[in-house]
Amino acid sequence: MNLLMCPVCRKALKLTDRTWRCESNHSYDIAKQGYVNLHVVQHKHSKNPGDTPESVQARRAFLSAGFYEPLQQAVVKKIQELRTENLLDIGCGEGYYTNAMQAEVMQCVGVDIAKNAVQVAAKLNKDVAWIVGTGATLPVLDESIDLCTSLFSPIPKEEILRVLKPNAYLMVVTPATEHLYAMREALFEEVKPHESHKFVEQLADSFELVEETVVDAPFVLAQQDLKNLIAMTPYAYKAKPERRQALEQLEQLELKAQFQIYVFKKK
C-alpha cells in the first residue's frame, strides 16, 4: 500500500518505473542514490536547509562506532512491542535509527529536510522509502501511519495528528537530564538540565502518554570520536570557539549519554 502524498496538491502518489506521480500529474523522480525529493521550492525557507554535510559525516562516523547502540536497541524493542505495520521516522537524518527500525515493520518511511543527510541514508537500506521533505507538510497521506517516531527532531504536532491512524502511536526520544553533562560543563559556563518533560505537556491535549523510559549509555571517547560528537550536536556552534578547541585537545573523555523515550497514543 502506498503511503506517500504529493506535497503540492496533497493527492496520493503512485510509483511508475522510477517516478512518483499524482493524478494532477505532478511528478518526482527517484534519484540514483535511491531517495525522492518531495521538498518543493514553495515550502523552502533556505537553499540548503537542515544539517551541514560536515555535521552529517560526523554523526555517521560517531553512530557507526556504536556509542548510541543502547538507544537504537531500546527503540527497536519498543517497536517490536507495539507490533505496528508501518512507521514514519520524522527527522531521520543519516538513517542510523531508521535503518534498524525498518526490520520491525512492513513499510518504513524516513523523512528529513537535509538533502545531504538523506543522500547518505539512502545508501544504508533500499527497503526504506527515503524522502527529502519538511515536517511542516509531511509527505504522507491522512490517517495512513501506525507509528510516528521523532528522535532528537522537531515534533510537528498537527501534521503528526493528520497522518496517524486513530489510536496510533508517537514515539519521541529526547535528551534526558544528565545527557552529556560533562561535555556541556566543559563547553558552557552555565549548564541547564534538559527539560524533556515539556513534550508531555505540549502533547497532552491530543496524546495519552502510555510509557516513558530512560536509557543510559556510558562510554569513554578517544579524541577523534569526541570531535565527531561535538560536531554532530548543536553545541558545536553554540559554544565559544576557545572552549570547543580546549575540549577537542583532550586525548579522551569519559561521558554518559542519557535518553528519554516517550510513547504516546493518539486520543
The two beta strands, 14-16 and 252-266, are unpaired
Query: Is 108 annotated among the ligand-binding residues?
Result: no
| Residue 68, marked binder | yes
Query: Residue 256 belongs to what H/E stretch?
Result: strand 252-266
Q: Give the span between the Cα atoms of 249 and 15, in whole angstroms.
A: 50
CA of 128: how far to CAs of 30, 98, 107, 111, 245, in Å?
Answer: 13, 8, 7, 10, 38
Annotated ligand binding at 9? The verdict is yes
The annotation status of 254 as a binding-site residue, yes or no, is no
Return the closest-CA partner of residue 121 out of 60, 173, 47.
Answer: 60
87: left (phi over 0), alpha (psi -120 to 50) or beta: beta
Is there a binding annotation on residue 197?
no
Q: How far apart are CA 111 and CA 133, in angstroms?
A: 6
Confirm or deny that 22 is annotated as ligand binding: yes
Query: Positive or negative, the Cα torsion across 58, 136, 150, 1?
Result: negative
Let me know the angle formed at the C-alpha of 57 by 120 and 196, rounded to the nearest 5 degrees. 95
CB of 235 closer than 8 Å to CB of 183: yes
Is 91 assigned a ligand-binding role in the annotation? no
- Residues 174, 194: contact at Cβ < 8 Å? yes
| 143 assigned ligand-binding residue | no
Which residue intervals of 31-104 are DSSP H helices?
53-64, 69-82, 96-102
Annotated binding-site members: 6, 9, 22, 26, 68, 94-95, 179
Annotated binding-site members for Zn(2+): 6, 9, 22, 26
Annotated binding-site members for S-adenosyl-L-methionine: 68, 94-95, 179
